[in-house]
């Protein structure tokens, strides 16, 4: 068996479909990102990696981000590392199950000399129906172009707080496009209180991210109400399931999503690649 690279997002979606049997929340990254590439094609100079390993693994990587291997078999993850290392030795990291991530990282170290360090322990969640949540003061609304200055500031604060390996320059490039598509909701209570974004490029599901509450306005239920309202809206549009990712070390966010109706499905890890002994 060998790694198959895909240039056609539709072909990749079909080839990666068996991964859904191992967990839809995790596998949604593969089809969700591929559908997003169809909707907004990458620039000519953007690095893109779409690959499968029979029915035993799938991998996707875009731009400066990590490679996502999800619930791939360890031998598939190792094969992806062998395939990608010669052309992309500066890869930021890998995200997937503990076994798949470590298999990729060990092979990566052999190929590039770069070690790994755990960035964050993640948990994938799925939702089929929204539970009733306590009301919050204010209301949700669609973010518009006029909200971009605040959204950019809030998103930059979010990536620093959560530790996402994304540059402010990338946010400056991507957020205006997402706002123009209507991919952000704001909770407004006499001023900005919280934001929630989503990727709904796939026909039958959506992934919710990011979610952020202004620090001085936390503890008032804004994020809970906003994610519940956004989730209800997406389901009403015909989405079959919704997915999101949390940091296992953040009990507040995990409790919020559980109240809304999200159910934990699988655990994964984001490993950073570092120079030296690591």
**Whether residue 31 is found in the same domain as residue 75:** yes
Q: What is the CATH classification number for the domain harbouring 175?
A: 3.40.630.30
User: By the 8 A CB rule, do 46 and 4 touch?
Assistant: no
**Whether residue 27 is found in the same domain as residue 135:** no
**Whether residue 95 is found in the same domain as residue 184:** no
Two tokens, residue 162: 């959560």
Q: At what angle do helices 148-162 and 168-181 cross, to 10 degrees?
A: 130
**Whether residue 142 is found in the same domain as residue 222:** yes
| pLDDT score, position 115 | 97
**Whether residue 83 is found in the same domain as residue 159:** no
| pLDDT score, position 183 | 97
**Whether residue 137 is found in the same domain as residue 255:** yes
Two tokens, residue 49: 């990696």
| pLDDT score, position 278 | 44
Q: What is the DSSP string of 196-219?
A: EEEE--SSSEEEEEEEEE-GGGTT
pLDDT band at residue 168 using 50, 70 and 90 as cut-offs: confident
Q: What is the dihedral of CA 214, 215, 219, 220, to 10 degrees?
A: -30
Two tokens, residue 41: 């094609």
Per-residue pLDDT tens over the stretch 133-148: 999 999 999 999 999 9
Average pLDDT of span 64-74:
96
Q: φ and ψ at 175, to 5 degrees? A: -60, -45
**Whether residue 62 is found in the same domain as residue 180:** no
**Whether residue 222 is found in the same domain as residue 238:** yes
How many domains does the structure of the chain reveal?
2
**Whether residue 136 is found in the same domain as residue 256:** yes
Neighbouring CB atoms inside 10 A of 129's CB total: 11
**Whether residue 18 is found in the same domain as residue 117:** yes
What is the domain range of residue 218?
130-260
**Whether residue 102 is found in the same domain as residue 18:** yes
Task: For the chain, give the mean pLDDT.
Answer: 95
- How far is residue 248's CA from residue 108's CA, in Å, rounded to a whole number? 26
Sign of CA dihedral 176, 232, 32, 22: positive
Average pLDDT of span 185-191:
98
Residue 269 has pLDDT above 90, yes or no: yes
Per-residue pLDDT tens over the stretch 209-256: 999 999 999 999 999 999 999 999 999 999 999 999 999 999 999 999
**Whether residue 73 is found in the same domain as residue 118:** yes
């Amino acid at each position: 068996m060998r790694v198959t690279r895909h240039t056609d997002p539709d072909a990749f979606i079909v080839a990666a479909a068996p991964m859904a049997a191992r967990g839809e929340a995790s596998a949604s990254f593969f089809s969700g990102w591929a559908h997003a590439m169809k909707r907004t094609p990458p620039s000519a100079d953007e690095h893109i990696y779409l690959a499968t390993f029979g029915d035993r693994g799938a991998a996707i990587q875009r731009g400066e981000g990590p490679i996502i291997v999800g619930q791939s078999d360890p031998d598939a993850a190792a094969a992806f590392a062998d395939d990608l290392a010669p052309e992309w030795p500066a890869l930021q990291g890998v995200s997937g199950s503990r076994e798949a991530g470590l298999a990729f990282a060990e092979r990566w170290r052999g190929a590039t000399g770069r070690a790994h360090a755990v960035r964050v322990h993640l948990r994938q969640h799925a939702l089929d129906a929204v539970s009733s949540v306590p009301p919050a003061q204010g209301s949700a609304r669609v973010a518009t172009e006029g909200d971009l200055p605040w959204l950019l500031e809030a998103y930059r604060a979010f990536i620093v707080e959560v530790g996402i390996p994304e540059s402010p320059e990338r946010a400056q490039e991507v957020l205006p496009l997402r706002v123009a598509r209507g991919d952000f909701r704001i909770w407004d209570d006499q001023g900005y209180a919280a934001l929630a974004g989503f990727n709904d490029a796939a026909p039958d599901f959506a992934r919710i991210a990011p979610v952020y509450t202004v620090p001085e306005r936390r503890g008032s239920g804004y994020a809970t109400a906003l994610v519940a309202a956004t989730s209800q809206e997406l389901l009403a549009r015909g989405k079959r399931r919704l997915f999101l990712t949390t940091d296992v070390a953040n009990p507040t966010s995990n409790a919020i999503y559980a109240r809304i109706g999200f159910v934990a499905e699988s655990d994964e890890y984001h490993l950073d690649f570092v120079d030296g002994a690591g």
